[in-house]
Amino acid sequence: MAGKQWQAIDSHGARRLDELFKAEPDRLSRLSFEVAGIYFDWSKTHLDTELVETFAALSEKQGFAAAREALFAGGIVNPSEGQPAEHVAERGNGAPDAVDLASARRQRMRALIDAIEGGAFGDVTGVLHIGIGGSVLGPALLVDALGRRSVGYKVKFLSNIDGEAFDEAVGDLDPATTLVVAASKTFTTTETLANMGAALRWLAAAGVEDPHGRLIAVTARPEAAVEAGIDETRVLQFAPGVGGRYSLWSSVGVSAALALGWDMFEELLEGAAEMDRHFRFAEAAQNVPLVAAFADRLYARQGCQTRAVFAYDERLRLLPAYLQQLEMESNGKSVTADGKPFGQASAPVTWGGTGTDAQHAVFQLLHQGTVRVPAEFVAAAEADHSQADEHHRLLLLNAFAQGAALMHGRASDDPQRSYPGDRPSSTVLLERLDARSLGALIAFYEHRTFANAVLLGINPFDQFGVELGKQIARELGEGTDEATLDPSTRALMERAGV
């Protein structure tokens, strides 16, 4: 067990960040890294040389190297479900069989895209992508980040069961020229199946002759899609070992590939593959996802219950929502992979927003509140909009100023105007936001999540915590025995008439 290392981490003397910079002149070079066109600066965290060494020893004790090898070799890293985690195979870095299968399925996806582009589905102008959680957050992030100037199909995303969401999603789509993509790993998810039914009715109501013929299913359970009336030529499969929140690289990315074009989709995979290679081969102290996980663990041990991510780039405004699922659904657990309570903080709550908007709304608490929130700033050195360069200069200056202000603080005789400083932050600076760097960025977050899980000894690839609520919703819908229902829930149901 790694008790000795955890103890050393907990009892490590706390030095202020600005003191750390003075004490360690080479601090910036040791805690900043460049991988796949992305600069990562973790020097404004409280990691010092000794802590990194202790964490590296801790990771050895926790069997990090073997766990990482198992991930890339297709070993069973999701023991509760008896599955490997094959998202790395989608970008060519997994077990040879899994890589071959992923590549064959990608070719099928490409063939379908070619057929759509070649007119096999008649005139197509739009795509309605239906899915929820991991079956939508990734593709939506990709299209919002990279598709703003794209000339590809107009892709709209629909996830919520709320009919308002449906109305909004189809608002500017023409049913006569829209294809529907229903993405669901299990093909049992209530929201997705209900929205798929609504989409078929929407097509039929507009006079589309064969609504099912305009439906593409993406799933790890093709038999369920066929049973739902979708012809197998329009069913794109992915492996059961690809977790929903890790699935954007697979056929789940079909809508993004339609919006962005095939070349961009491949560049995305290449960027992720580059980060895979870094994570797989870099030594602990230079391994960016692992070092980031060291800082995550340090602050979680010190009682930080949240971590905030601010995208200083409008194109990445969906990144915090994407990371919420990735990190909270993966590591929001309280028992180890073998079922033992691990008695320490697991994943913090991930939250965030966009800069500079967030500065005028929530940063007050970051600078002067009583809770400590490690903040992460994500930005791109180059802009890609039509406005004057000054916009981007101001945007970046603001991002960097926040990190500096949080770290240095500023004393004042007036307590209201005093900034304590010593508040940690990390900065991720892309040279430019393109498919390759976005692929590497997302893969960085995936591997950081995995590294956190290994340090904690938890399985990041299952999510049983979401099941109970689904089950109770079903039971309520089926008419539970009134006598067993608690008074609060019963009153709510009566009031709402459901």
User: How far apart are CB 425 and ligand F6P at their closest, in Å?
Assistant: 30
Q: Which of 164, 340, 360, 478 is catalytic?
A: 360
CB nearer to ligand F6P: give 130 or 292: 130
CB nearer to ligand F6P: give 134 or 348: 134
Hey, what amino acid is at 35?
A: V
SS (HEC) of the chain: CCHHHHHHHHCCCCCCHHHHHHHCCCHHHHHEEEECCEEEECCCCCCCHHHHHHHHHHHHHCCHHHHHHHHHHCCCCEHHHCECCCHHHHCCCCCHHHHHHHHHHHHHHHHHHHHHHCCCCCCCCEEEEECCHHHCHHHHHHHHHHCCCCCCCEEEEECCCCHHHHHHHHCCCCHHHEEEEEECCCCCCHHHHHHHHHHHHHHHHCCCCCHHHHEEEEECCHHHHHHCCCCHHHEEECCCCCCHHHCCCCHHHHHHHHHHCHHHHHHHHHHHHHHHHHHHHCCHHHCHHHHHHHHHHHHHHCCCCEEEEEEECHHHCCHHHHHHHHHHHHHCCCECCCCCECCCCCCCEEEEEECCHHHHCCHHHHHHCCCCCCEEEEEECCCCCCCCHHHHHHHHHHHHHHHHHHHHCECCCCHHHCECCCCCEEEEEECCCCHHHHHHHHHHHHHHHHHHHHHHCCCCCCCHHHHHHHHHHHHHHCCCCHHHCCHHHHHHHHHHCC
CB nearer to ligand F6P: give 125 or 334: 334
329 is catalytic: yes
User: How far apart are CB 134 and ligand F6P at their closest, in Å?
Assistant: 3
User: How far apart are CB 492 and ligand F6P at their closest, in Å?
Assistant: 22
- The CA distance from 385 to 368, in Å, is 34
Q: Which of 4, 22, 385, 470 is catalytic?
A: 470
User: How far apart are CB 244 and ligand F6P at their closest, in Å?
Assistant: 3
CB nearer to ligand F6P: give 132 or 140: 132
> Both ends of the chain: CA-CA distance in Å?
51
CB nearer to ligand F6P: give 252 or 433: 252
CB nearer to ligand F6P: give 165 or 285: 165
User: How far apart are CB 325 and ligand F6P at their closest, in Å?
Assistant: 7
Q: Which of 86, 191, 267, 329 is catalytic?
A: 329
360 is catalytic: yes
User: How far apart are CB 248 and ligand F6P at their closest, in Å?
Assistant: 11
User: How far apart are CB 298 and ligand F6P at their closest, in Å?
Assistant: 28
User: Residues interacting with ligand F6P, by CB under 6 A?
Assistant: 132-135, 184-186, 189, 192, 244-245, 329, 463, 466
CB nearer to ligand F6P: give 261 or 332: 332
185 is catalytic: no
Q: Which residues are known to be catalytic?
A: 329, 360, 470
